[in-house]
Chain A
């Protein structure tokens, strides 16, 4: 039973560029949450998707957007990248009732 998968593992972008990160949830899960983890900090909640809609959003600017597909996989898009967007981006999946979240390995984004 595959767990949560994320791609790519690492990527490097330059300021002003746009990036798309991808996540496939654990089998049987339909809810996907995204988190940003800066170096030395705990993960910070970006948003959660359920039934292809954004259900809850953390304190992140509109440059951060997402999408959920009918197969429950999800994308995180970040526009106009800033140096401060360099972080580990984590995806977590859970069942319909928003219970226990299981995390993927993360995508390490470096913005130069």
Chain B
């Protein structure tokens, strides 16, 4: 699976959009971009995944660049409960292991 690079930490004001970047410049054509988040000491929570088209669900939007070398997870109106570590993972859809890196620690402030 391709390697991902994320900033170690980010801040966001409550009510504003949180834009979390991820670089995956070595991504292969059959690899998907997955996003999970982990609130302190809980199990990781699946957020969204996509191959090349932008995706939106009730939690977030995923924007993947046309060359697929980077992506951005957007939380449109961040709340204090969105404070968590966010992991960007690249993986073939029939793959087995999820290779978590260090993720981005997002702090949402009042």
Contact = CB atoms under 8 A, between A and B. Distances in A.
Interface of A: 4, 33, 35, 41-45, 48, 55-56, 58, 88, 90, 92, 97-106, 108
Q: Interface residues of B toward A: which range?
A: 20 to 34
A19 B42 CA distance: 21
B26 interface: no
Interface stretch (B12-20, B60-68, B72-80, B97-105): B97-105
B30 to A, nearest CB: 13
10 contacts: A42-B101, A42-B102, A43-B100, A45-B99, A58-B97, A97-B93, A100-B34, A100-B46, A103-B46, A105-B43
B22 to A, nearest CB: 14
Main secondary structure of the interface of B (DSSP, over half): loop
A58 B85 CA distance: 23
A90 B44 CA distance: 9
B46 A42 contact: no
B46 A102 contact: yes
B94 interface: yes
A33 B34 CA distance: 17
Contacts of A33: 96-98
Contacts of B99: 45
